[in-house]
Chains A and B, each alone.
Chain A
Amino acid sequence: MQETRLNAAALKKKFRVNEFIAEKFITGVAFLSLAAIILIFIFVFREAAPILFEEKKEVSAVAQVEEEQETYGEEFLGEGSAVVAEGMFRSESVESAGSEGEASLENLLSISWQPVSGDPKYGILPLAIGSLKVTFLAILIASPLAILAALFTSCFSPRWLKEILKPTIELLAGFPSVVVGFFALVTLASMLQSMFGLEYRLNALVGGVAMALAVIPVVYTVAEDSLASIPKHMTEASLALGATKWQTAIFVTLPAAIPGVFAAILLGFGRAFGETMIVLMATGNAALIGWGLTEPVRTMSATIGAEMAEVVFGDTHYHVLFLLGAILFLFTFTLNAVAEIYIRQRLLKRFRGEAS
């Protein structure tokens, strides 16, 4: 930037070379985050793509050869994969699949997940239901606790207590998820079983409660931030009108911070949906369909974590696991984008605009 403006002594010139290199280098490195996101997008979807756009060849259908390959874009096929493209979403009967397994749309939407069997089934539905069950439980438990605690620290607690409480609750965010998972597996599961007389020791409820522990600090931090960022003149006006501290908190501060609180819940949801180690250890990992909260469940993230180490690179099971990862990525990406762009920035800004 500067070297076009000035044209001075040789000494200065040398500095300007440094200047130029430094700026270009720093800008270049800054693009790393952007590149990382794009690469994650490409590479996770690239490995998942064969499931959506191709199908394993069957004995009866060998005759049909790679006529439609080029329509899917080079990046999906440049892999030297042995798979033959046969057409999008062609649903064949499941029985005709050999031990290789096929992942037609019908198979993906079927109701059972049995990837390692003579007739592999890759039904994502039970896994999706499992993920949603655990996530909703976690959110239902975590949000009230976290939001009330945020309200307490930002509106009611004296300053010294706040200085202690905030770092303490944020310490919970630093808990490795394996530690929470281990606690749930060994202690919490037995506690809940004897408390409610549950049939299975590891189930969706245990996973949900454990997951709530991981979600609480996320919701708390964002909610506390948005409660603390409510302009002082609003709360002071309320107090000046004779409202008590709690009336101000409930009727002024909380409503003003609602978009931020909503964003907090969304971010918590995203965190819970993608969390792996806790559910892997605490939910029992049985891919059942059903809405019972005390049955064992298997979530999408746990499935990837448990099965990826054992699959053969490049076979259908491998690609289906990447598809699960792609779904997780898209889901959390959308949630974060919504929380970030729409609610957190636009609504909050609008609210502040109205308020001032």
Chain B
Amino acid sequence: MSIKRALFGTYVVGVCALATLVIVAILFLITTNIIIGGWDTISWEFLASAPEEGMTAGGIFPAIVGTVFLVLLMSIAGVPAGAITALYLSEYANQKSVIARAIRFAVNTLAGVPSIVFGLFGLGFFVQFVGTGMDRILTDGVELHWAQPNILWASLTMALLTLPVVIVSVEEAIKNVPQELRAASLALGATRWQTIWNVVIPNSMHGILTGTILAVSRGAGEVAPILFTGVAYFLPHLPGSLSDQFMQLGYHVYVMSTQSTNVDATRGIQYATTMVLLLLTFLLNFSAIIVRSKVRGKALQ
């Protein structure tokens, strides 16, 4: 082969490697930028205290609690639904049937709907439609109680948004359960449901775990869906019931960096809040990767 061609080959590989390097460098740059910016402000006290002096001092405890409540409620609503849908798609559905294909298409579509549209849907459906309906039944429409943005509507909106995440990882895990295990169970006289309950689900627990972690990571970071379904800028109390509003880390970053009266004075708080949010999602994503690779390692043995 001519030298010219060999040189060109090196060039091609070099350009590809460079592109990869650029992406990794960007990732590194953002992470270090945010950690350096937040380093001076972050402390245990910052994490454990409420904002003070009109948000210019104090910590982010209510935002952390709000985020945790949100993802908890979201998981309670979304994970079982997602896992069961995955179970249906991989164990019950006839893959070529119209219903199975329609549900699969719906899951894919759901994954592509912009998060702000989920927010609009949450407002139009949960707050306005379901909320108003509940008020009409519970209080004869006298009191405006459920027809307002609150943590329940925000969590349900977020649960819909993260549904595809759960479905995809659980389905992948179920598919990896060896067919022999199912056959053995059925051969021993177990029914289909017994096989699913005693063989398939225990063997795909890691998929449910991965799905939950990824959904929580996504749900903790998204802001657009909760903008008008329940988040609040500042609240003196932690959310005590499902009809309360809540503070959230991502929204805190957004409001503090764009709409507070003195943006520069709170730069440290903004960086530190962003750092908490970023490290939280890192931690969640890493644990998802570890759960997955551990299982893969086991499967290879």
Whether B163 contacts A22 by the Cβ 8 Å rule is no
Counting CB contacts under 8 A, is B106 at the interface? yes
| Chain A residues whose CB sits within 8 angstroms of the CB of B102 once the complex forms | 34
Q: Assess A244 versus B1: contact at CB under 8 Å? Given A33-B163, A169-B23, A276-B115.
A: yes
Q: Of A61-69, A97-105, A106-114, A149-157, which binds chain B?
A: A149-157
| Chain A residues whose CB sits within 8 angstroms of the CB of B93 once the complex forms | 30
The count of residues in chain A whose C-beta lies closer than 8 Å to any C-beta of chain B is 90
Whether B257 contacts A281 by the Cβ 8 Å rule is yes
Whether B124 contacts A246 by the Cβ 8 Å rule is no
Q: Assess A171 versus B27: contact at CB under 8 Å? Given A33-B107, A152-B19, A328-B116.
A: yes
Whether B123 contacts A178 by the Cβ 8 Å rule is no
Contact residues, A271-287 vs B (CB, 8 A): 271, 273-277, 280-281
Residue of B nearest to A341 (CB): B105
Whether B81 contacts A32 by the Cβ 8 Å rule is yes
The count of residues in chain B whose C-beta lies closer than 8 Å to any C-beta of chain A is 90
Secondary structure at the A interface, as helix, strand, loop or mixed, is: helix
Contact residues, A181-196 vs B (CB, 8 A): 181-183, 185-187
Q: Of A42-50, A85-93, A232-240, which binds chain B?
A: A42-50
Whether A26 contacts B16 by the Cβ 8 Å rule is no
Secondary structure at the B interface, as helix, strand, loop or mixed, is: helix
Q: Assess A174 versus B217: contact at CB under 8 Å? Given A179-B274, A182-B270.
A: yes
| Chain B residues whose CB sits within 8 angstroms of the CB of A309 once the complex forms | 227-228
Counting CB contacts under 8 A, is A126 at the interface? no
Partner of B117, one of A33, A157, A328, A337: A328
State A148–B194 Cα separation when bound (angstroms).
48
| Chain A residues whose CB sits within 8 angstroms of the CB of B107 once the complex forms | 33
Counting CB contacts under 8 A, is B160 at the interface? yes
Whether B20 contacts A165 by the Cβ 8 Å rule is yes
State A295–B222 Cα separation when bound (angstroms).
27
Q: Assess A151 versus B16: contact at CB under 8 Å? Given A34-B103, A270-B112.
A: yes
| Chain A residues whose CB sits within 8 angstroms of the CB of B267 once the complex forms | 186
Whether B106 contacts A37 by the Cβ 8 Å rule is yes
| Chain A residues whose CB sits within 8 angstroms of the CB of B261 once the complex forms | none
The digit string for B8-26, where 1 denotes a CB below 8 A from any CB of A, is 1100110111111011101
Question: What total of A-B pairs shows CB separation below 8 Å?
Answer: 265
Q: Of A12-20, A116-124, A346-354, which binds chain B?
A: A12-20
Partner of B274, one of A169, A182, A249: A182
The 4 closest A-B pairs by CB, nearest first: A274-B114, A176-B221, A148-B19, A30-B88
25 CB-based A-B contacts, threshold 8 Å: A16-B191, A18-B193, A19-B192, A23-B193, A26-B84, A29-B81, A30-B88, A30-B93, A33-B110, A33-B163, A34-B106, A36-B110, A37-B110, A40-B125, A43-B129, A44-B124, A172-B23, A172-B27, A176-B281, A177-B224, A183-B274, A245-B13, A246-B12, A305-B119, A325-B116
Instruction: For the A-B complex with A270-B112, A281-B254 known, give 8 more contacts whose Cβ atoms are closer than 8 Å.
Output: A19-B192, A23-B92, A33-B85, A34-B102, A148-B16, A183-B274, A273-B114, A281-B257
- Which residues on B are within 8 Å of A, measured CB to CB? 1, 5-6, 8-9, 12-13, 15-20, 22-24, 26-27, 30, 33-34, 37, 80-81, 84-85, 87-89, 91-93, 102-103, 105-110, 112-121, 123-125, 128-129, 160, 163-164, 167, 191-194, 196, 217-218, 220-224, 227-228, 250-251, 253-254, 257-258, 267, 270-271, 274, 277-278, 281-282, 284-285, 289
